[in-house]
Structure 1
Amino acid sequence: MKELTYDNLKETGYDGYLLREGAEKIIQFGEGNFLRGFVDYFIDVMNEKADFGAKVVVVQPIPQGQIEVLNRQEGLYTLYLRGRKGSQIVDEKRVISSISRGIDPYSDFTSFLELAGNDDIEIIISNTTEAGIVYDKTCSFDDEPPVSFPAKLTRLLYERFTRSKGGHGYIILSCELIDDNGRKLRDIVMKHSREWELGDEFNGWLMEKNIFCSTLVDRIVTGYPSADADKMNDENGYGDRLLDMAECFGLWVIEGPSRIGEAIPFKKADLPVMITDDHRPYKLRKVRILNGAHTCMVPVALMWGETIVRDTMRNEYIGGFIRDLVTKEVIPTIPLPEKELISFAEDVFDRFANPFIDHKLKDISLNSISKWNARVKPSLMDFVKRKRCLPERIIFAFASMVVFYKRGDTRDSSEVKNFFSTYVDKGHNEELLEKFLGNESFFGEDLRRIKGIKERMLRYMDEIETRGMKEALISFLKEHGDGMD
């Protein structure tokens, strides 16, 4: 079977949108599944619907990557978008043609630096994983290339500064999944500049002519569909080693000046992109609603006997419990308009019900204690502060998590596992909760100060362990009028 190229694609009779020639306007650090299933797709749509005419040059950020395959396929790959929108099932396929070529700076450092001389390029995008935005003191200016992504970027920016004689810089969109990703990237670049003694004039140019944007990206990209790849390639009539798969939902929140929207035609292409002066409320929304619901769902569902998210949301009892937890106890704690939050929550519930993604509860359960601390505790604390009472559903889920950990079938740190191994006998629940809620190494504070939390959790734990999750949850729902319509 012929591999995917423009000429071979034409032979198959493909009649979808393609941009074979276009100006290279974007540098992208990273060639992984997420960027290709999210950012490069957005650029492809802007090329089609907003006449953006932009091509992406992809830079391989680590020594091992897929640049060779990407170049052999002339930047082309097939993206499948699958999921739900309300009652509608979405199953779409698109050949993405927004990438022009890839550069491996480890084998061709000269071509990497030459990107700085292209005046058409005004945008840099990155997703080098959470471990990518780090300061590496071993990196030097003379490395070809420096090891870390921030050091590579610093070297490229200095090349741009010298070649353009202080001309325009870049809009830099960091997509790594860490807090304030753009600001952290900027700070590390500045640190490299000072360590490498690149000069005050360059430092001033960095701050004045470049925009380091913190962003929030939200799309589940499951990547290469190994189990179905041969069938898909047969149906398409070409071999594609870069097949990619993602959910149809997507959201990109970019913190920066409004002129970013003038340089990049997101709005004209009707893409789900929001440009704001503060991305943090939207990150809080995602973490508390989507991630928080996942964390609360896991112990309840696993002890009920469910195994994947989709089936859990179809379960009338657990699905109703999670919906009410989000709408009645999480949404009231988020400083955004209620109508907007409810709409986002409905999108989340659609995503949970995606018939194409088998999202395993066991996978989500990894390190649940630290996840609870980051995703759920803030909702608990804010609810208590605002309402002056306990959020019963969050407390029930929290108690369920403790029972789940007592059972021992968990994946977490040795510290967490050793803690719970002391209390496997359910008769130790009161002592367990006293020590657990007061464990500041888990929660960063003493949760025993929350009035009534230990007593309420003790009650729910005893009911779950005595009656089983099914009876305990159904009893809870009857008591609180939830999920029983």
Structure 2
Amino acid sequence: MKLNRNNINTAARPIRVVQFGEGNFLRAFIDWMIQELNEKADFDAGVAVVQPIPQGLGELLNAQDGLYHLYLKGIEKGKLINRHQLVDCIQQVVNPYEDYQGYLELAKVETLQFIFSNTTEAGIRYHEADKLDEVQDSFPAKLTALLYERFRHFGGNISKGLHILPCELIDKNGQILKETILKNIENWQLPKAFQNWIETACTFYNTLVDRIVPGFPKDRIEEIHKELGFEDQLVVEGEQFHLFVIEGDEKIKEVFPAEKIGLNVIVTDNQAPYRTRKVRILNGAHTSLVPIGILSGVETVKEGLDHEQVGAFLKQLIKEEIVPTLPASEGIHEFAEDVLDRFRNPFVKHYLNSISLNSFPKFNTRVLPSISGYFIKEGKFSQRLLVAFAALIKLYDPKNEQGFEPQDDQEVVDLLRSLWENYYATQGNLESVVAGVLAFETVWGANLNNLGNLKAKLTQYLAQIQEEGIGVLLEENLNLV
């Protein structure tokens, strides 16, 4: 039986949330929280999902009327958790690339209160080429257009401002999103009154999100369909653990009462300590594992931990090269051990290919700060983190033996393809490949070629991967086995 609202009885709810992004994480995190609030706190919130890029899951979500099942697995307070639930809070899915006017109509919804988003680290960027009168490429420009339509429709009514909580994993995500919107207002020469409305009526929050979400359980979907009695093509799996840190005014607790039903939501005036250790340890380890693991023939995070060489590499990378670069804080070593336990979760199959989305901007925000921190502290570059960096460059080689196809910003993919094609055409100059990557200021924010002996070390490791394979590098150069 198909999963849709004709075949299952669900409540119709007023749209209180516009959500940019229809991927696994938001559906297993924000939409799950809204579902919990609806069921346990009479929150009565419906979600309108906006597909942020031309290709996405919008059509599939619409085919299921926004319905899907979430499976949560793990260990909670010593007990095995394996539960699933129907999530029915998504009421509408809009693809602005196909229906831009329908997208702008969301601005006129009387009951709208919240904006949530997760467009990856590459999502919150200023695109000067975006225009007001046509579908915009960037997420901040789309949101600017939506907010301007709301401002005009309600005549600048201050009570129609929104709570805006971006979930992209960049530092000060709410602040940066607001600054980017203000740039769009200036570029489009929109009224000063609209800028004032953004400043006074809308509240932007910096956030931190934490839940491992492997996504669609393709290996056992037939078994799940039999268990559910429905054909659900949007089943999503996640771990039981979750954390949502919101930096800002505590008035958010009144309109988003997550704490009242026991959700792990922390409202604070400083989310930096939570963010730094989570991004650098958990996300940094994930992002470092992707190229090392894939080049080693590993498919999932747990397989990486169980792999003799890869597992030893990752553990030492965390304990010896990431943790020492972080400010000393209570519980940081325990947090690192907990991260490794979460990676070992036998109930969650987290594919490295899924984590590999936008690996270069992720590397910039999640791993490069640890590389810099180690250099500042020790006066030299960390070995394992640079091996991960070199492995990432190799992973984007179109001739990689694993058949890996990068899912990244097209500019990144094109640059790496060009560098590698030139390497093969000229019969080998790996230093030029590394130099081209390090000079890519769009990703790094600066040219990294003159940063100590970074270029030389990366070239050395890349050459070893190219000539001998990643396994030899792990074993012989880092003495991990």
Q: What is the TM-score when the length of structure 2 is the normalising length? A: 0.73
Q: Which residue of 2 aligns with 1:445?
A: 448
More off after superposition, 456-465 vs 365-374: 456-465
Change (3 A) 1:302 1:37: closer
Distance 2:388 2:93 in 1: 47
Tell whether 2:178 aligns with 1:175.
no
- Give, as a single letter, the amino acid of the residue that structure 1 aligns with 2:316: D
Match of 2:237 among 237, 241, 245: 245
Q: Are the counterparts in 1 of residues 313 and 384 from structure 2 also a CA contact under 8 Å?
A: yes
Distance 1:182 1:65 in 2: 24
3-state DSSP of counterpart to 1:268: helix
Match of 2:325 among 328, 333, 336: 333
Tell whether 2:50 aligns with 1:60.
yes
Distance 1:356 1:263 in 2: 34
Tell whether 2:97 aligns with 1:80.
no
Distance 2:72 2:171 in 1: 27
Tell whether 2:128 aligns with 1:157.
no
Match of 1:473 among 468, 472, 475: 475
Change (3 A) 1:372 1:422: farther
Q: Which residue of 1 aligns with 2:117?
A: 126
Q: Are the counterparts in 1 of residues 62 and 92 from structure 2 also a CA contact under 8 Å?
A: yes
Q: Which residue of 1 aligns with 2:410?
A: none
- Which has the higher Rg, Structure 1 or Structure 2? 1
Match of 1:270 among 262, 268, 275: 262
Q: Deviations over 1:48-81 (max 9, x none)?
A: 34x1423123043568876777577565321122
Distance 2:465 2:192 in 1: 66
Q: Are the counterparts in 2 of residues 4 and 239 from structure 1 also a CA contact under 8 Å?
A: no
RMSD: 4.7
Distance 1:76 1:402 in 2: 39
Change (3 A) 1:334 1:136: same
Gap runs ≥5 in structure 2: 407-412
Change (3 A) 1:419 1:295: farther
Q: Are the counterparts in 1 of residues 107 and 150 from structure 2 also a CA contact under 8 Å?
A: no
Tell whether 2:181 aligns with 1:210.
no
Distance 1:238 1:197 in 2: 51
Distance 1:70 1:463 in 2: 42
Q: Deviations over 1:231-272 (max 9, x none)?
A: 433322234454333343433333322222332112223323
- Give, as a single letter, the amino acid of the residue that structure 2 aligns with 1:266: A
Distance 2:158 2:464 in 1: 68
3-state DSSP of counterpart to 2:17: strand
Distance 1:466 1:24 in 2: 56
Q: Which residue of 2 aligns with 1:97?
A: 88
Q: Which residue of 2 aligns with 1:114?
A: 108
Q: Deviations over 1:393-412 (max 9, x none)?
A: 44565677789899962766
Q: Are the counterparts in 2 of residues 76 and 95 from structure 1 also a CA contact under 8 Å?
A: yes
Distance 1:57 1:42 in 2: 12
Q: CA deviation at 1:37?
A: 2.0
Q: Which residue of 1 aligns with 2:409?
A: none
1:412-427 matches, within 5 Å, as 413-418=416-421, 421=424
Distance 1:405 1:65 in 2: 23
Change (3 A) 1:424 1:394: farther
Q: Which residue of 2 aligns with 1:15?
A: none
3-state DSSP of counterpart to 1:382: helix
Q: Are the counterparts in 2 of residues 331 and 338 from structure 1 also a CA contact under 8 Å?
A: no
Distance 1:378 1:111 in 2: 41
More off after superposition, 459-468 vs 62-71: 459-468
Change (3 A) 1:82 1:371: same
Distance 1:109 1:72 in 2: 18
Q: Are the counterparts in 2 of residues 79 and 244 from structure 1 also a CA contact under 8 Å?
A: yes
Tell whether 2:390 aligns with 1:385.
no
Distance 2:360 2:187 in 1: 38
Q: Are the counterparts in 2 of residues 76 and 97 from structure 1 also a CA contact under 8 Å?
A: yes
Change (3 A) 1:398 1:213: closer
Q: Are the counterparts in 2 of residues 78 and 95 from structure 1 also a CA contact under 8 Å?
A: yes
- Give, as a single letter, the amino acid of the residue that structure 2 aligns with 1:98: C
Distance 2:304 2:375 in 1: 28
Q: Are the counterparts in 2 of residues 103 and 112 from structure 1 also a CA contact under 8 Å?
A: no
- Give, as a single letter, the amino acid of the residue that structure 1 aligns with 2:420: K
Q: Are the counterparts in 1 of residues 214 and 354 from structure 2 also a CA contact under 8 Å?
A: no
Q: CA deviation at 1:365?
A: 7.0
Change (3 A) 1:403 1:474: same
Identity over aligned pairs, percent: 32
Q: CA deviation at 1:131?
A: 4.5
Q: Are the counterparts in 2 of residues 59 and 112 from structure 1 also a CA contact under 8 Å?
A: no
- Give, as a single letter, the amino acid of the residue that structure 1 aligns with 2:324: P
Distance 1:84 1:289 in 2: 21
Q: CA deviation at 1:440?
A: 4.7
Match of 1:47 among 33, 38, 51: 38
Q: Are the counterparts in 1 of residues 69 and 236 from structure 2 also a CA contact under 8 Å?
A: yes
Q: Which residue of 1 aligns with 2:226?
A: 234
- Give, as a single letter, the amino acid of the residue that structure 2 aligns with 1:441: A
Distance 1:101 1:240 in 2: 17
Q: Deviations over 1:91-137 (max 9, x none)?
A: 3211113334456773646853430x33xx43222345645765465
Tell whether 2:303 aligns with 1:311.
yes
Distance 1:282 1:253 in 2: 8
3-state DSSP of counterpart to 2:26: helix
Q: Are the counterparts in 1 of residues 430 and 462 from structure 2 also a CA contact under 8 Å?
A: no
Q: Are the counterparts in 2 of residues 133 and 149 from structure 1 also a CA contact under 8 Å?
A: no
Distance 2:341 2:24 in 1: 22
Q: CA deviation at 1:207?
A: 0.3
Q: CA deviation at 1:170?
A: 1.4
